Homo-oligomer: A and B are copies of this chain.
Amino acid sequence: MSQTPKHSADAPVPTSTDVARLAGVSRATVSYVLNNTSAVRISEPTRRRVREAAEELGYVPHAAARSLRAGHSRMVLLPTAHVPVGPLYSRFLNEVQWALRALDYTVVQYGSLGLGADEAARAWAELRPVAVLSLGEIGLTPHGVRVLKRSGAKAVITLGPQRVEGAHALVMDQRAVGSAAAAHLLERGRRAIGVVVPAEPGLDLFSRPRLAGVRKAVARGGADARVEPLTMAYDEESAARLAADWRGLGLDAVYAYNDEYAQLLMRALQDAGVDVPGECAVVGADDLLLGKLLRPRLSTVHIELPTGREIAELVDRVVREPDGDVERHDLMAAHAVARESS
C-alpha cells in the first residue's frame, strides 16, 4: 500500500539533449526525427536509435519551448462561463472543442471566475493563444480585445448576444427566443404576459434581450397586450413567493426564461392552486428532455445553435485570414414547440 518513493522528487525531466546523447546524435537530428521533418533525410538506423532513446527516457517535448521558438502556438483559449450554464450549452461547448481539435488546435478552457474582464484578458494574453473564443457570457471589453490582439491573438471571436468592439462577432440574437415565445402566447390568445428574469447575476446578458424580444413581439402583435417582468431566483422560496402573489398580477401567461426556471415556476403555481394552462400558460426555452416529463408537458422554445464544426471552421478561417471582416448575425434560429402548458 504505502509506496516507497522511487526517484520521485528530483529526477530531472528529460530533454531533447538527453535523447540526443543517448542516441549518440545531435539535438538537431533528434528534432528532425521526432518531427518527421521532410526537408531533411535521416537514415533509417538513426531514426530508430533516436526513437528508441526517446521512448526509453519517456521524453515528451516541451510545448512552451517549442512555441517560443516557433513564435506562435496553436492554442485556442475558451474562457469558461462564470455562471453554471445548461445542458444545451455544455453539449455545444463539447462539440466545439472536439471540432477544434480535429483541426489540430490545442483547446484550453480558462476559468476566469472572480477576475475582472480586463484582468482576465491579460491573464489569457500571457498564454499567447492564437485564438480566443468567447462563448456565451462575454467577459470581454474592447480594451481586453486590444490586449489580446496585441499579444498576438489572430482571432478573437465572440459568440453571444452582443458584439464587442474589435472582436469578430457571431451575434446570436437572444431576442428571437423571447419573440418566439411571445408570438406563440399571443396566438393562443394570451394578453398579459409575465416574463421571468433570473435574479442570478450573469444571466442578464441572456435574459434582457429575451425580455426585449417579448416586448418587440407584443408591440408588433398585440396592441391590447402587456408585458410584466418578474424577477425570480432559481430556488423554491423565490418561486413560491412569486406564485403566492400570482393572482394579484393579473397575468394569463408567463415566459419563464428557460425550461428549468419554467419547471420551478410551474410547480410553484400548481402548488398555489393556479391552473396551468387554464389560468396561466407557461412557456420555457431550450427544449430540454425534462419538459416532456412534466405534467402538463411544457411548451418551450427550441433553439437551433450553429454546429461545433461551423464554429471551429470559422475560428480556423479567421486565424489564417485575420483581416477578413467576419460579423454574422442571427445564427440562432428559434421556434416555439407547443405542448400542453400553453
Interface, chain A (partner B; CB < 8 A): 1-3, 5-6, 8-9, 11, 13-14, 58, 60-65, 67-68, 73, 80, 84, 87, 90-91, 94, 97-98, 101, 106-111, 113-115, 122-123, 125-128, 146-147, 149-152, 234-236, 263-264, 267, 289-290, 292-293, 321-325, 327
Contact = CB atoms under 8 A, between A and B. Distances in A.
Contact of A9 (B60, B293, B322): B322
Contact of A289 (B115, B122, B126, B235): B235
B290 A263 contact: yes
A13 B289 contact: no
Contact of A147 (B60, B108, B123): B60
Contacts of A115: 101
B123 A106 contact: yes
Contact of A84 (B2, B8, B91): B91
4 closest A-B pairs by beta carbon, nearest first, are: A64-B64, A109-B109, A63-B126, A97-B111
For the residues of A in contact with B, the DSSP-based class is mixed
A162 to B, nearest CB: 15
Identical subunits present: 2
A150 B58 CA distance: 7
Contacts of A64: 63-65, 67-68, 73, 127-128
27 contacts: A3-B321, A3-B323, A5-B322, A9-B322, A13-B128, A13-B150, A58-B147, A58-B150, A60-B125, A62-B68, A62-B126, A62-B128, A63-B126, A64-B73, A84-B90, A84-B94, A98-B114, A101-B115, A108-B108, A109-B109, A109-B111, A234-B289, A235-B289, A236-B292, A236-B293, A263-B290, A264-B293
Contacts of A123: 106
A193 B219 CA distance: 56
A108 B107 contact: no
Given A90-B84, A109-B80, A146-B58, A13 B151 contact: yes
Contacts of A80: 109
A292 to B, nearest CB: 6
Given A60-B150, A94-B111, A94-B113, A264 B235 contact: no
A64 to B, nearest CB: 4
Contacts of A87: 84
Contacts of A6: 323
A226 to B, nearest CB: 29
A261 to B, nearest CB: 11
